[in-house]
C-alpha cells in the first residue's frame, strides 16, 4: 500500500512539474526592465496560466547570447522582442523564426508585419534629439543644427554596437543622400561622443553632462514627464523609425504559449499599455501618448532593411572607427 501510494505521489508530482513547465516561456528582450515587469503583469492578468521568464539587455547583447546558445546546441528562448528589424531579419534569414500565419493582425498596417508573418511590429519608435533645457536656450530644429561646434562638442548618441535602435538610426541616416557617412564624420571631428544604449544618453543629458543627445523619443519624453530638465525635438528633415518586432523562435518547445504572448502583444490591452509607456501604438483606435504629435504628421525617413543587414558589419566597424567601441 505504501509503495503504491509512493508511486502515485511520484507520478502526480511529475505531472505537476510537466504542467508547470508547459506553461513557462522565456522571453529575450531589449525593452527596459521596468516596462517589461509591467508588461508581464498585464499579460498574466489575461493569461495567468502562462509564466514568463525574462532575459533583458541591449539588442546586441541579446543577439550575442542567442547566437552563442545556438552555436552550443539550442537556446531556452521562446520569444524575442527587440528594437531592431535588421537583427530580426537576420534571424529570419537564418531560419530561426517560426511563421505565425494566423496571428491576429486585422487592422494593423501591413508595413509593420513581415510578409511571411515570422515577426510583427508591436509599436512605433522614432529617433530624434533630446536637449537639456537648462543648458540650451534655443531648441534645435534640424539634424544639421547638431553640426554647430558648440552643439557637436556637447552631443552624445547611442552606439549601434550596443543598441538596436541605434543600428536602425545610423543605417537610416547614412542611407540618406543629404547625410551619408559624411554627417557622422563631421560630428566626430567636432567632438561628439557615443555612449552605449539610449539609457546612457538620457542620463547624461538629464544630469547636464551633455547638452544634446540623439535618442528614441519615449525615453526623452518620459524623462521630461518625470521632471527632468529635458525636452525632445522631431527634426525637420525626418526621423528614423522602428517597430520593435516580436517573434516566436523556431526552437521553442512551448510554441502555443509563445504564440499566445505574441498575439497578446498585438491586442488592444497591450497597445493601450504601450501608449501609456510612451510608445506610438500600431493598432488603429488606440490613442497615442499625451503630448505626442500625430504619427501621420511626422516625416519618416525611408530605410532599406535588407541593405542595412548587408552593411551591418561594415556600419558597426565604421562607427567604432569614428567614435570608439
Output the known binding site for Fe cation.
218
How far apart are the C-alpha atoms of 267 and 261, rounded to whole Å?
10
Cα 129 to Cα 126, 242, 314, distances in angstroms: 10, 16, 25
Q: List binding-site positions.
A: 218
Closest residue by Cα to residue 280 from 225, 242, 321: 242
Burial class (CB in 10 A: 0-12, 13-18, 19+), 24: middle
C-beta separation of 308 from 315 below 8 A: yes
What region does 233 belong to: left with phi over 0, alpha with psi -120 to 50, or beta? Answer: beta
Cα 243 to Cα 7, 81, 160, 166, distances in angstroms: 52, 10, 17, 13
Amino acid at each position: 500500500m505504501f509503495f503504491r501510494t509512493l508511486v502515485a505521489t511520484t507520478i502526480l508530482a511529475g505531472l505537476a512539474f510537466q504542467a508547470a513547465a508547459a506553461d513557462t516561456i522565456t522571453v529575450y528582450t531589449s525593452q527596459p526592465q521596468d516596462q517589461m515587469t509591467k508588461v508581464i503583469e498585464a499579460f498574466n492578468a489575461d493569461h495567468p496560466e502562462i509564466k514568463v521568464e525574462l532575459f533583458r539587455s541591449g539588442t546586441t547583447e541579446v543577439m550575442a547570447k542567442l547566437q552563442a546558445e545556438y552555436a552550443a546546441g539550442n537556446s531556452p528562448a521562446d520569444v524575442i522582442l527587440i528594437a531592431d528589424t535588421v537583427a530580426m531579419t537576420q534571424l529570419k534569414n537564418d531560419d530561426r523564426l517560426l511563421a505565425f500565419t494566423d496571428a491576429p493582425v486585422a487592422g494593423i498596417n501591413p508595413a509593420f508585419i513581415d510578409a511571411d508573418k515570422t515577426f510583427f511590429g508591436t509599436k512605433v519608435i522614432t529617433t530624434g534629439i533630446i536637449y537639456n533645457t537648462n543648458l540650451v536656450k534655443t531648441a534645435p530644429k534640424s539634424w544639421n543644427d547638431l553640426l554647430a561646434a558648440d552643439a557637436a562638442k556637447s552631443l552624445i548618441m547611442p552606439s549601434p554596437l550596443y543598441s538596436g535602435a541605434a543600428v536602425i538610426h545610423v543605417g537610416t541616416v547614412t542611407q540618406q543622400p543629404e547625410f551619408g557617412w559624411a554627417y557622422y564624420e563631421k560630428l566626430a571631428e567636432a567632438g561628439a561622443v557615443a555612449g552605449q544604449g539610449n539609457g546612457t544618453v538620457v542620463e547624461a543629458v538629464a544630469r547636464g553632462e551633455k547638452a544634446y543627445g540623439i535618442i528614441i523619443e519615449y525615453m526623452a519624453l518620459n524623462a521630461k514627464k518625470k521632471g527632468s530638465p529635458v525636452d525632445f525635438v522631431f527634426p525637420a528633415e525626418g526621423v528614423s523609425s522602428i517597430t520593435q518586432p516580436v517573434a516566436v523562435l523556431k526552437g521553442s518547445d512551448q510554441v502555443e504559449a509563445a504564440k499566445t504572448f505574441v498575439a497578446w502583444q498585438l491586442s488592444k490591452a497591450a497597445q493601450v499599455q504601450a501608449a501609456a509607456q510612451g510608445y506610438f501604438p500600431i493598432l488603429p483606435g488606440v490613442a497615442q501618448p499625451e503630448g505626442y504629435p500625430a504619427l501621420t504628421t511626422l516625416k519618416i525617413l525611408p530605410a532599406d532593411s535588407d541593405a542595412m543587414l548587408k552593411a551591418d558589419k561594415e556600419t558597426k566597424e565604421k562607427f567604432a572607427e569614428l567614435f570608439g567601441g
